[in-house]
Amino acid sequence: MPLMDYILKRIHELESETGVKRTILAACPNSLSVIKAALSSAKRCNAPIKFAATLNQVDLDGGYTGLTQYEFVKTIRLLARKINLNSPVIIAVDHGGPWLKDIHFREKWPLEKTMAAVKKSFEAAIEAGYDLIHVDPTIDINIPRGECLPIQTIAERTVELIVHSEEFRRSKNINRISYEVGTEEVHGGLSDLEIFRQFLDLLKAGLKREKLGDVWPCFVVGKVGTDLHTTYFDPVVARQLTEIAKTYGSLIKGHYSDNVENPEAYPLSGMGAANIGPEFTEYEYDALMELEEVQDSLFTEGKIAKKSGMKKTLWHAVINSGRWKKWLQPGESRDDFNSISPERQEWLIKTGCRYIWELPEVIAGRAKLYENIEAEGIDAESIIQLTIERALERYFYKFNLVGLNSKL
């Protein structure tokens, strides 16, 4: 049994015994600091941790973290060993599908090319030791804006990607992995309850036709109220989707759960898991700005000779990357960042920092900031780590995961 499936099975058994519902926390590994913090928090909370890495973050080309699938798994394992972590660590692909990698979308790759690239990425993930793949072929650059890809096509492409993954896995005699399917509101698709049922029926029929009746996704991503710009989780809709998914043998997974107002409602609604990502980048940015304020005070006192200019470096790097354009709202200029409101500029920089943490100038700026702070006996990296850990532990507690390892 795949690791993720086993943990979910035990959670279900424990719920039957104790009545306690639990939701798995999936952290998006958008920086090395987040990876370290997630592992440390999992150890402190004695709980499993799941990493959900998009192909923009981790891929054969290194992604924006600079890590291939093999290097990503190796990094996690070495960091876990360093702190003697005994928690289960689930490593997963997040949003694996055509045109969901930015370069595929920007360069308008044809379907055959983008599907082939996604399949190669899945192969690398399986060989590296990933535990789960999120199959998400829910967008198509050839579909007019405002329209959704036909549900039959989504199901067909989902089956195609799962079939390829399973054939590759079995040919290499690699242990079984788990699957996640579907998407959230951002890309449309599975928002209507009837379409949701239709998709699962088509998926089941397709896998059976391909003689993969023993393969079924443990998670189906559902539209549960949260998206990039909303923070309220809708427990009523979540329960409806949960009841439907349960009849097929799956659990609902929530995406864009960052800064959610009511995280305690996730387990109460029967949610299987939730992804948290950009929120941790925001905390990392805020912690760096806090350190820069300390540095400025030290400079004023004459205790350091030269400031790092961390904030200026981050803003310059994000703006030059152009990645902020991906998250613009209607009416905001793609050509003039300064024309955007100050509040929105701050948000775009914060969320955009995840794309540029590994740039040489950013690494150098951070190193200089740490050097300035640590010269006065302040452990700069610990401040960054503890800030992110505090955000993570909110979810470990609200999702009823603390102490779970002892019961697995």
CB 131 within 8 A of CB 92: yes
Token representation of residue 377? 């006996």
> How many other C-beta atoms are found inside a 10 Å radius of the C-beta of residue 58?
31
Q: pLDDT digits over 2-39, tens only?
A: 999 999 999 999 999 999 999 999 999 999 999 999 99
Determine the Cα–Cα distance for residues 177 and 175; give it in Å rounded to an integer: 7
φ, ψ dihedrals at 300, nearest 5°: -60, -35
Burial of 331-362, coded b for 16+ CB within 10 Å and e otherwise, reads ebeeeebeebeeeebebbbbbbbbbbbbbeeb
Q: pLDDT digits over 321-361, tens only?
A: 999 998 999 899 999 999 999 999 999 999 999 999 999 99
Specify the amino acid at residue 138: T
Specify the amino acid at residue 45: C
Residue 307: C-alpha distances to residues 299, 313, 362 (Å): 7, 12, 14
Determine the Cα–Cα distance for residues 338 and 152; give it in Å rounded to an integer: 43
* Confidence at residue 191, expressed as pLDDT on a 0 to 100 scale: 55
Token representation of residue 407? 């019961």
* Confidence at residue 45, expressed as pLDDT on a 0 to 100 scale: 97
Residues of the chain with pLDDT under 70: 184-191, 228
Give a three-class secondary structure readout of the chain. Answer: CCHHHHHHHHHHHHHHHHCCCCCEEEECCCCHHHHHHHHHHHHHHCCCEEEEEECCCECCCCCCCCECHHHHHHHHHHHHHHCCCCCCEEEEEEEECCCCCHHHHHCCCCHHHHHHHHHHHHHHHHHHCCCEEEECCCCCCCCCCCCCCCHHHHHHHHHHHHHHHHHHHHHCCCCCCEEEECCCHHHCCCCCHHHHHHHHHHHHHHHHHCCCCCCCCCEEECCCCCECCECCCCHHHHHHHHHHHHHHCCEEEECCCCCCCCCCHHHHCCCCEEEECHHHHHHHHHHHHHHHHHHHHHHHCCCCCCCCCHHHHHHHHHHHHCHHHHHCCCCCCCCCHHHCCHHHHHHHHHHHHHHCCCCHHHHHHHHHHHHHHHCCCCCHHHHHHHHHHHHHHHHHHHCCCCCHHHHC
Determine the Cα–Cα distance for residues 271 and 239; give it in Å rounded to an integer: 8
pTM for this model (two decimals): 0.94
CB 263 within 8 A of CB 275: no
What's the whole-number average pLDDT of the chain? 94
